[in-house]
Amino acid sequence: MTVLTGPEEARTAAAVPKGGRWIDHWEPDDEQFWARIGRRVAARNLAWSILTEHLGFCVWLLWSIAVLNLSSVGMQLSVGQTLWLTTLPNLVGAAMRIPYTFAPARFGGRNWTIVSALLLLIPCGLFVYAIENPDIPFWVLLVIAATTGLGGGNFASSMANITHFYPTGKQGLPLGLNAAGGNLGTSVTQLAMPPLIVAFGLVAVGWVWMPLVLLAATGAYLFMNNLRKATSAYTVREMGAIARKPQTVIMSVLYIGTFGSFIGYSFSFGVLIKSQFPDIKGADYIWLGAFAGSLARPLGGWLADRFGGARVTAVDFLLMALGIGAVAMAVRAGSWPVFLAAFLFVFITTGIGNGSTYKMIPAIFRAKAMEGVDPADGPAVERALTRARRNAAAAIGITSAVGAFGGVLVQQAFRISLEQTGGIGPALVGLTVFYALCMTLTWAVYLRKVRIGETRMSLAQAGV
C-alpha cells in the first residue's frame, strides 16, 4: 500500500487499498483527491477491465472464424445453418448486456469482473467439445455457439463499472480506451485465428483463450476494487424507468448508428468483400476494419472531452454518411482500392462515434441531475452527482445492448439487399439515410438552443 502523510492522506490510503477490498471513500470529482490518489487507482482498475473485456470480444467472435473451417473437422452445414452460427452469438451477446449492466451494482465491479472472466471458460470448453464431436446435432451446436454471447455481455458490465472511477469531465478518453480494448478483440480473433488453425487445427481456437481468461480473473482478484457508492442494486422498476427515459432512448438510437454499424460491419465485411470482389482474398483484409475502428474509439473519446460529445457525434454521422456514399460509388465503379479505403474510413468513423456517444451519456445525466440544484449546496450537489452516475451507468448498459442488436439489423440489411437485388446498393442507401437522420437528431436534441432554467442554451453548452 502507498504510504502517505497527513490525516486526510492516511484516511484516503486506508480507504483505497491496492486491490481486493471495498473502497468506501471515492470522490473523483474532487480535484485534490483525483490528483493525489484517484487517478492511479482508476488507471489500475481500467487496465484489468480492458483485458477482461478484450477477451470477451475474442470469445464472442469465435464462431465467426470457426464456421469457415468446420468442413475440416467433418461438419457439413448449409449456408443458412452457418449464418445462424454467427447471428445467434450476436443476438445473445446483445441480450446479455442488460443483466451484465446491473451486475456490478449488485455484486461489486471487481467481484463481477472476476465472475464474468471465468464464465468465458464455458464457451471455450464447449467449443473444444463440439470440434472433437463433429456428429453432435445441429441444435446442440447452436446452443454451444450461443454461449459465446457471454463475451458480448462483458462490455456492458465493464463500461458501467469504469464510469464510476473517473471524473465526469474526463470520462471520454478512459471509456474510449476501455471500449477500444474490447473492440480490438474482434480484429485479434479475425487476424490471429486463421494461422493458429493452420498450425494446430480448429480445436486450438477453444484452448488458446483459457489461460488468458485465468490470467484476467487472477489480475482482477488481486488488483481491482469495488466501489461502495456504485453498488446500490437496481430494482426492476428502476431499470424500466431508466430505459424509458427519453435520453436513454435517444442515445440508444445514436448508438445503433455507431456501435451497431461497427459490429455489423465487422461480422459482414468478409461476406461483402467476397460478394462484391470475388477475386480478392477476403481473409487477408477482414481484420483491418475492426482494427481501424477499435483504434479510433479512444480518439472519439478524446475529441469529445475537448470539443463536446454532441458536436463530435453530429460531425461524425455526417462523415459516416459520406463514407458509405463513397463505398457505394466504389461498388458501382468496381474499384477494389476505393472500396477498401472507403470502408476503412467508415470503420474509423464508427470508432470515433462510439467514443463520442459514450462521453455524452454521463454528461447528459449529470446536466439533467443538476437542473435546479444550487451549486453552493454541497450535500444537494453530491446527491445529484451520485444519482447521475448511477443512472448513467445503467443507461450505458441499456444503450450498449440496443447498439449490439443494431449490429444484427445491419447484417440483415445486407442479407436482404443481396437476396433481393443481387447487390448491396440498396442497403448502402438505407444506411446513408439513417446516418443523416442520426445527425439531425443529435443537432435537434443536443446542439439546438432551448430554454434551460432562465437562459437559452443547448445541452452541448451544458457540457454534453
> What tens digit of pLDDT does each residue of 28-60 get?
888 899 999 899 999 999 999 999 999 999 999
HSE-CB of 169 using CA atoms within 13 angstroms: 8
- Cα separations in angstroms, 35 against 39, 42, 125, 165, 308: 6, 11, 44, 13, 23
12 pLDDT higher than 50:
no
Count of C-beta atoms within a 10 Å radius of residue 235: 9
| Cβ pair 120, 56 in contact under 8 A | yes
| Cβ pair 355, 308 in contact under 8 A | no
How many Å apart are CA 36 and CA 295, to the nearest integer?
A: 30
Written as one letter, the residue type at 37 is I
414 pLDDT higher than 50:
yes
| Cβ pair 224, 109 in contact under 8 A | yes
| Residue at grid coordinates 485479434 | 188
| Residue at grid coordinates 454528461 | 363
CATH class of 1-233: mainly alpha
How much is the average pLDDT of 72-91? 81
Q: What is the mean pLDDT of the chain?
A: 86
pLDDT of residue 16: 53
How many Å apart are CA 188 and CA 51, to the nearest integer?
A: 13
Q: How confident is the model at residue 420 (pLDDT cuts 50, 70, 90)?
A: confident
CATH 1.20.1250.20 residue ranges for the chain: 1-233, 244-464
Domain 244-464: homologous superfamily in CATH: MFS general substrate transporter like domains (1.20.1250.20)
How many Å apart are CA 397 and CA 14, to the nearest integer?
A: 31
Kindly state the cell numbers that stand for 63.
464462431
HSE-CB of 305 using CA atoms within 13 angstroms: 18
- Residue among 144, 152, 142 at smallest CA distance from 85: 142
425 pLDDT higher than 50:
yes
Backbone angles phi, psi at 11, to 5 degrees: -65, -40
Count of C-beta atoms within a 10 Å radius of residue 447: 17
pLDDT of residue 454: 52
CA angle 115, 117, 119 (to 5 degrees): 70
